[in-house]
Amino acid sequence: MVAREKMLACTHVLHAFAPFKPADLFAKLAQSDYAQLPSDVYGAGGASDLVVERLKELFGTSGARFCIKGMIAQMAALRAAVERQGNNLVAIHRMTHFDIDEMEAVEILHPIQFRRLGTAYQPFTVDDLDKMGEVPGVVSVELPVRRAGYKLTPLEELVKISNWCRERGVHFHLDGARVFGVAEAYGKSLKEIMALCDSLYCSFYKELANIGGCGLLADEEFLAESDVWFTRHGANVPFEFPQAITALIGLDEFLPRIGEFTAFAKALAAAFNKIDGVRTVPLVPETPNFQVHIEAPKAALEAAFEKQIEADKVWLSGHALPTIYDEVQAIEVAIGAGSMSLSVEEWANYLSQSVGTARNEIEV
Amino acid sequence: MVAREKMLACTHVLHAFAPFKPADLFAKLAQSDYAQLPSDVYGAGGASDLVVERLKELFGTSGARFCIKGMIAQMAALRAAVERQGNNLVAIHRMTHFDIDEMEAVEILHPIQFRRLGTAYQPFTVDDLDKMGEVPGVVSVELPVRRAGYKLTPLEELVKISNWCRERGVHFHLDGARVFGVAEAYGKSLKEIMALCDSLYCSFYKELANIGGCGLLADEEFLAESDVWFTRHGANVPFEFPQAITALIGLDEFLPRIGEFTAFAKALAAAFNKIDGVRTVPLVPETPNFQVHIEAPKAALEAAFEKQIEADKVWLSGHALPTIYDEVQAIEVAIGAGSMSLSVEEWANYLSQSVGTARNEIEV
Asked if pLDDT for residue B363 goes beyond 60, the answer is no
A70 touches chain B (CB under 8 A): yes
Residues in chain B: 364
pLDDT at A362: 62
Cβ within 8 Å of A, B 87-126: 102-105, 108-110
| A47 has a chain B CB within 8 A of its CB | yes
Nearest CA to A97 out of A141, A159, A161, A128 is that of A141
Given a contact cutoff of 8 angstroms between Cβ atoms, the answer to whether B209 and B254 are in contact is yes
Smallest Cβ–Cβ distance between A232 and the set B109, B238, B239 belongs to B109
Question: B361 pLDDT exceeds 70?
Answer: yes
List strand residue ranges (DSSP E) for chain B, in order: 12-13, 63-67, 89-93, 113-117, 138-142, 171-176, 199-203, 214-218, 278-281, 289-295, 314-315, 321-322, 328-334
Average pLDDT, chain B: 95
Asked if A146 contacts A97 with a C-beta cutoff of 8 angstroms, the reply is yes
Q: Which helix (H) or strand (E) holds A280?
A: strand A278-281
Rounded Cα–Cα distance for residues A242 and A245 (Å): 5
Question: Which residues of B are less than 8 Å from A34 in CB distance?
Answer: 22
Predicted confidence band of residue B337 (pLDDT cuts 50, 70, 90): confident
Over residues B13-66, the pLDDT tens digits come to 998 677 789 999 999 999 999 999 999 988 999 999 999 999 999 999 999 999
Closest B-chain CA to A102: B232
Best residue of B232, B315, B319 to probe chain A, by most A CBs closer than 10 Å: B232
- Cα B199 from Cα B179, distance rounded (Å): 13
> Across the interface, do A239 and B212 touch by the CB < 8 Å criterion?
yes
> Which residues in chain A have their CB less than 8 angstroms from residue B234's CB?
69-72, 75, 102, 105, 233
Query: Hey, are the CB atoms on A228 and B103 less than 8 Å from each other?
Result: yes
Instruction: Report the b/e string of A155-193 with b at 16+ CB within 10 A.
Output: bebbebbbebbeeeebbbbbbbbbbbbbbbbbebebeeb
The helix/strand/coil state of B64 is strand
β-strand partners of B41 = B44
Of A21, A69, A104, the CB nearest to B234: A69
Cβ within 8 Å of A, B 176-195? none
Interface ipTM: 0.93
C-alpha dist (Å) from residue B33 to A8, B87, B249:
17, 46, 10
Contacts of A17 in chain B (CB under 8 A): 41, 238
Q: Is B364 a residue whose pLDDT tops 50? A: no
State the pLDDT at residue A19.
77
What are the angstrom distances between the C-alpha of B142 and each of B104, B120, B344? 16, 13, 29
CA-based nearest residue in chain B for residue A70: B234
A151 by DSSP, 3-state: which?
strand
Which chain B residues are Cβ-neighbours of A4 within 8 angstroms?
Answer: 41, 44-45
Contacts of A33 (CB under 8 A, 6+ apart): none
SS3 call for B345: helix
Q: What is the residue type of B358?
A: A
Cβ-based contacts of B4 with chain A (< 8 Å): 41, 44-45
Nearest to A105 among B23, B46, B232 (CB): B232
Residue A278 in contact with residue A294, Cβ under 8 Å?
yes
Beta strands in A135-180 (DSSP E): 138-142, 171-176
Whether the pLDDT of residue B313 is over 60: the answer is: yes
High-pLDDT (> 70) share of chain B, %: 99
- Cβ-defined contact of B232 to A30 (cutoff 8 Å): no
User: Scanning every residue of chain A, which has its alpha carbon at the shortest distance from the alpha carbon of B8?
Assistant: A38
- Cβ A212–B238 below 8 Å, yes or no? yes
Structure confidence at residue A363 (pLDDT) = 52
pLDDT tens-digit series, residues B244-288: 999 999 999 999 999 999 999 999 999 999 999 999 999 999 999
Q: Residue B98: what pLDDT?
A: 92
The confidence score (pLDDT) of residue A364 equals: 44
Counted across chains A and B, CB pairs separated by less than 8 A come out at: 162
Q: How many CA atoms lie within 13 A of A266 on its CB side?
A: 12
Residue in chain A closest to B99 (alpha carbons) equals A232
Domains assigned to chain A = 4-20+256-363 (3.90.1150.10), 34-253 (3.40.640.10)
Residues of B in contact with A234 (CB under 8 A): 69-72, 75, 102, 105, 233
Q: How many CA atoms lie within 13 A of A230 on its CB side?
A: 23
- B1 shares contact with chain A (CB less than 8 Å): no
Question: In chain B, which residue's Cα lies nearest the Cα of A4?
Answer: B41
**20-39 in chain B: CB under 8 A from chain A:** 20-27, 29-32, 34-39
- Each residue's pLDDT, cut to its tens digit, for chain A (364 residues) gives 888 888 888 999 998 677 789 999 999 999 999 999 999 988 999 999 999 999 999 999 999 999 999 999 999 999 999 999 999 999 999 999 999 999 999 999 999 999 999 999 999 999 999 999 999 999 999 999 999 999 999 999 999 999 999 999 999 999 999 999 999 999 999 999 999 999 999 999 888 888 989 999 999 999 999 999 999 999 999 999 999 999 999 999 999 999 999 999 999 999 999 999 999 999 999 999 999 999 999 999 999 999 999 999 999 999 999 999 999 999 999 999 889 999 999 999 999 999 999 998 765 4
Q: What is the pLDDT of residue A8?
A: 82
Give chain A positions within 8 Å (CB) of B21: 35-39
Q: Which B residues, 192 through 251, put their C-beta within 8 Å of a C-beta on chain A?
A: 205, 211-212, 228, 231-235, 237-239, 241-242, 245
- Please tell me what DSSP assigns to residue A336: S
Q: Does A6 touch chain B (CB under 8 A)?
A: no
CB contact under 8 A, A39 and B46: no
Which residues does chain A have within 8 Å of residue B109's beta carbon, measured at their own beta carbons? 109-110, 232-233
Q: B270 vs chain A: nearest CA distance in angstroms?
A: 30
Interatomic CA distance for residues A129 and A138, integer angstroms: 11
From chain A, the residues in CB contact with B30 under 8 A are: 23-24, 26-27, 30
What 3 state SS string does A286-330 have? CCCEEEEEEECCHHHHHHHHHHHHHHHCEECCCCCEECCCCCEEE
Asked if B231 lies within 8 A of A46 by C-beta distance, the reply is no
Q: Tell me the chain B residues in contact with residue A70 when contact means C-beta distances shorter than 8 Å.
A: 234
Please tell me the predicted confidence (pLDDT) of residue A350.
98
Structure letter (DSSP) for residue B207: T
Contact residues, chain B, for A230 at CB < 8 Å: none
Q: Are A21 and B5 in contact (CB < 8 Å)?
A: no
The CA R_g of chain B, rounded to the nearest whole Å, is 21
Q: Does A318 touch chain B (CB under 8 A)?
A: no
**Any B CB within 8 A of A45 CB:** yes
Beta carbons of B108 and A232 less than 8 Å apart:
yes
> Per the CB < 8 Å rule, is A19 touching B26?
no
Average pLDDT over residues B155-176: 98
Say which DSSP state A178 is in.
T
b/e per residue B185-211 (b: at least 16 CB within 10 A): bbebebeebbebbbbbbbbbbbbbbbb
Asked if the peptide bond before residue B144 counts as cis, ω within 30 degrees of 0, the response is: yes
Cα distance from B142 to chain A (closest Cα, Å)?
18
CB-based contact, B71 to chain A, within 8 Å: yes
Residues of A in contact with B46 (CB under 8 A): 19, 22
Chain B, nearest residue to A38 by Cα:
B21
Strand-pair category, A138-142 with A89-93: parallel
The answer to whether B80 touches B216, Cβ cutoff 8 Å, is no
| Residues sharing a CB contact under 8 Å with residue B320, sequence separation 6 or more, in sequence order | B294, B298, B301, B302, B329, B330, B331
